[in-house]
Amino acid sequence: MRDLRVDPTVAALLPADLLAALRHGPHPSTYRCSVCEGEGDLATGEATSLVLRRYPHRLVRRVQLVHAECAPSAVTVAPAALADAELAASGSSIVYADLLGIGTAALTGCRPQPLLAVDDDDDLMTTDPRAPGDPGRLRPGELIDPAVSHALATGLALHASLRADPPFVAGWTVRIGPALLDLVHPRADGRQGIERLSHTIPVEWRAAVRAAGNQVTLLVGRMGLSTAVRSPYLPAPRPRSPIPPSPASPSPMSPGHRPAPAPAAWHARPRVASATSPAATFAVLSAVSAGRVAAGRVTVTWAGPD
């Protein structure tokens, strides 16, 4: 049973379906608290507050999960001087190399093939609309996915089924080394962007990609892999880092401010999936079926020894 604390002012600004998914799951479950930077997990019943942070100059809102003992549920406003840096550091991506086997393919109607999923594990984002004729009154926002939007704008296609191959996409390349993967993609300014990610891609997957002519189906979107791939946790101490002050949140010197307690044993969530996982495969296929994933056939190159 999830223990999600939601202030009425926060609930009023969220889409009803998003709020229901946060309250009942299954994704997201694990999160990194933005106050203490420790790990939290809704699935274990850990008391969690829902914080909605507004970025008015960007017309977006960020949905944040924090430990209930670290901060209450509230609507906060990011100071303009900190807003861009906060948005740029809102999360990271998870790589999952899945070798869709004959059994799973038969159950889903897909063909056996290697897949490479890059899960956008950034915080959930919504628009920041105001009521027409009344700029002081806010309306519920709509969920947006910047990673999928960028992928669709640069050649990938919305993909709702793995029964058919997505189109081959020029300009996107996956360069795989022994422990790091470079996702090379076009940018709006005409230059190349590179996202470097950790991976533990198995030998069998590499062999299948080579047999397919060094091409792979790349899937980009929010798939819930941070929840589906949870074990083992990787211990990593994290420094305390308070939420930046805002007009809607108390300053450290205000009477209502209480320092967050130091947790005894929070852990860092894994950033990679070590091998084919039924839970992760189900999460990927579910996201594809729900139309939340951009896909394309892309070229794979290899860097360094296997």
My answer on whether 301 and 243 are in the same domain is no
pLDDT for the residue 123: 67
pLDDT computed for residue 271 by the predictor? 45
Residue 14 covered by a domain: yes
Structural domain contains residue 137: no
Looking from the CA of 7 toward its CB, the CA atoms found within 13 Å total 16
Please give the torsion angle defined by the CA atoms of residues 282, 284, 288 and 291, in that order, rounded to the nearest 10 degrees.
110
Residue position matching structure tokens 């300009």? 171
Question: What's the average model confidence in pLDDT over 237-247?
Answer: 39
Banded model confidence at residue 229, pLDDT cuts 50, 70, 90: low
pLDDT band at 254; cut points 50, 70, 90? very low
68 plus 161 within the same structural domain: no
66-84: average pLDDT:
91
* H or E stretch at 55: strand 48-55
135 located within any domain: no
* Confidence check: pLDDT of 76 > 80: yes
Distance of CA 142 to the CA centre of its chain: 17
Query: In the predicted model, is pLDDT for residue 242 greater than 60?
Result: no
- The pLDDT value given to residue 198: 84
Supply φ then ψ for residue 260, to 5 degrees: -70, 135
How many separate domains does the chain show?
2
Q: Are residues 152 and 51 in the same domain?
A: no
User: What percentage of residues in the chain have a pLDDT greater than 70?
Assistant: 75
Tens digit of pLDDT for each residue in 1-13? 899 999 999 999 9
- Asked if residue 302 is part of any domain, the answer here is yes
| pLDDT at residue 186 greater than cutoff 70 | yes
**CA dist., res. 73 & res. 213, Å (int):** 51
Cα separation, 25 vs 27, in Å, equals 5
Contact indicator for 266, 137 with CB cutoff of 8 Å: no
At residue 10, what are phi and psi to the nearest 5 degrees? -75, -45
Place of tokens 């309306």: 139
Does 139 fall in a domain?
no
Same domain assignment for residues 80 and 189: no
Q: Are residues 43 and 85 in the same domain?
A: yes
Read off the pLDDT band of 260 (50, 70, 90): very low
185 is a domain residue: yes
Q: Is 296 helix (H, G, I), strand (E, B) or coil?
A: strand
Is 134 part of any domain? no
Task: Report if residue 102 sits inside a domain.
Answer: yes
21 and 49 assigned to the same domain? yes
Instruction: Encode 10-22: b = buried (16+ Cβ within 10 Å), e = exposed.
Output: beebbeeebbeeb
Residue 248 pLDDT > 80 = no
Residue 152 structural domain: 92-122+144-230+271-306
Task: Identify whether the C-beta of residue 22 lies closer than 8 Å to the C-beta of residue 224.
Answer: no
| Contacts (Cβ under 8 Å, ≥6 apart) of 34 | 51, 64, 66, 241, 243
225 residue type, one letter = L
Residue type, 261: P
Q: How many CB atoms lie within 10 A of CB 184?
A: 16
Q: What is the pTM of this model?
A: 0.65
Q: Are 43 and 75 in contact (CB under 8 A)?
A: no
**What pLDDT sits at residue 272?**
46
User: Within this chain, do residues 98 and 175 fall inside the same structural domain, yes or no?
Assistant: yes
Q: Are 103 and 128 in contact (CB under 8 A)?
A: no
Q: Does 88 score more than 80 pLDDT?
A: no
Mean pLDDT along residues 256-276: 41
Q: Do 96 and 78 belong to one domain?
A: no
What average pLDDT does the segment 64-85 reach?
91
Pick from 98, 92, 93: nearest CA to 217:
98
Instruction: Based on the fold, state whether residues 161 and 204 are members of the same structural domain.
Output: yes
Angle at 255 between CA 251 and CA 258, to 5 degrees: 70
Judge if 298 and 201 occupy the same domain.
Answer: yes
Chain segment 14-55, per-residue pLDDT in tens:
988 888 888 987 667 778 888 898 888 888 889 999 999 998
Shared domain for 189 and 149, answered yes or no, is yes
At a CB cut-off of 8 Å and minimum separation 6, what does 48 contact? 2, 3, 4, 5, 31, 40, 42, 65, 66, 67, 68
User: Are 186 and 280 members of one domain?
Assistant: yes
